[in-house]
Amino acid sequence: MTDAAPLLAVRDLNAWYGESHALHGVDLEVFAGETATLLGRNGVGKTTTLRAIIGLIRQRTGQIFFDGKDLMRLPLHRTAQQGIGLVPEERGIFATLTVDENLVLPPIVAEGGMSVEEIFDLFPNLKERRNSPGTRLSGGEQQMLAIARMLRTGVKMLLLDEPTEGLAPVIVQRIGDLLATMKKRGMTILLVEQNFRFASRVTDRFYLMEHGKVVAAFPVGELPDRMTLLHEVLGV
């Protein structure tokens, strides 16, 4: 933990889907180079939090500062240019684009991203299938592609929504390794996970969500002491 200002600071974030009030004042901070994880049951607002931060949900109030800039004022396409990227829960691989086209779709927002060749070195099976339609890939490969394409853009921070959902254990293992590699390269990550055992391998900090707000925040080292709370809130 540093004394510096957090890279991402969210205060009193409220969000609505039409009439339905989904977030009730979320507060969280993620420091540069850190991985933080949002835990919580289905429907408590984890995905909504990520979507409101990136700006896909426009019905929102509160404060979102990224790298000192106020994201609330920016139109959606200017948010990514500040250096923050989303890997959505449904992965967002485009069926009418080839693997190659999917990979280079997000515009480069800053220097320091990986080149296509470096990415293909890291994901050889994407290279083999670079000309197939994106959605012909397996679920695991699609998840790799969804993460890989953000690595090219030079973003400083990734919002990762349940990257392990529905994937085989061996793939989950690989995604864990990938997150570790990204962290080593200095990437800041806000992760949404149901699987806190997976998350505890990569995260520095947990935020526990319930009913559209953060109810507990603690570093990964306190996980053993918090198990009772976790069982209560997650119902596991």
Partner 1 sequence: MKCWVYDGAMTMIFGIPVQAFLGQLLVGLINGSFYAMLSLGLAVIFGLLRVINFAHGALYMLGAFIGYLLLTRFGIGYWPALILSPLIVGGFGVVVERLALSRLYDIDPLYGLLFTFGLALVLEGVFRYYYGVSGSPYSVPPLLSGGTNLGFMFLPNYRGWVVVASMIVCFGTWALIEKTRLGSYLRAATENPGLVQAFGVNVPLLLTLTYGLGAALAGLAGVLAAPIYQVSPLMGSDLIIVVFAVVVVGGMGSILGAIVTGYMLGLAEGLTKVFYPEASNLVVFVIMAIVLLVRPAGLFGRDA
Residues engaged in binding partner 1 (CB under 8 A): 54-56, 75-81, 85-86, 88, 92, 94-97, 101, 104-107, 109, 153
Spatial separation of the C-alpha atoms in residues 141 and 189, rounded to whole Å: 20
Closest separation between CB of residue 106 and partner 1, Å?
Answer: 4
Closer CB to partner 1, 101 or 165, in the complex = 101
Buried b (16+ CB within 10 A) or exposed e, 131-142: eebbeebeebbb
Spatial separation of the C-alpha atoms in residues 1 and 3, rounded to whole Å: 7
* Strand duo 157-161 + 84-87: pairing: parallel
Question: In which residue are the tokens 């994106």 written?
Answer: 134
Closest separation between CB of residue 23 and partner 1, Å?
Answer: 18
Closest separation between CB of residue 34 and partner 1, Å?
Answer: 22
Closest separation between CB of residue 7 and partner 1, Å?
Answer: 18
Closer CB to partner 1, 75 or 124, in the complex = 75
Closer CB to partner 1, 100 or 204, in the complex = 100
Q: Report the candidate in 21, 105, 13 with the shortest Cα–Cα distance to residue 50.
A: 13
Closer CB to partner 1, 89 or 204, in the complex = 89
Closest separation between CB of residue 201 and partner 1, Å?
Answer: 27
Q: What are 80's two structure tokens?
A: 């990514």
Q: Are 199 and 37 in contact (CB under 8 A)?
A: yes
Closer CB to partner 1, 39 or 86, in the complex = 86
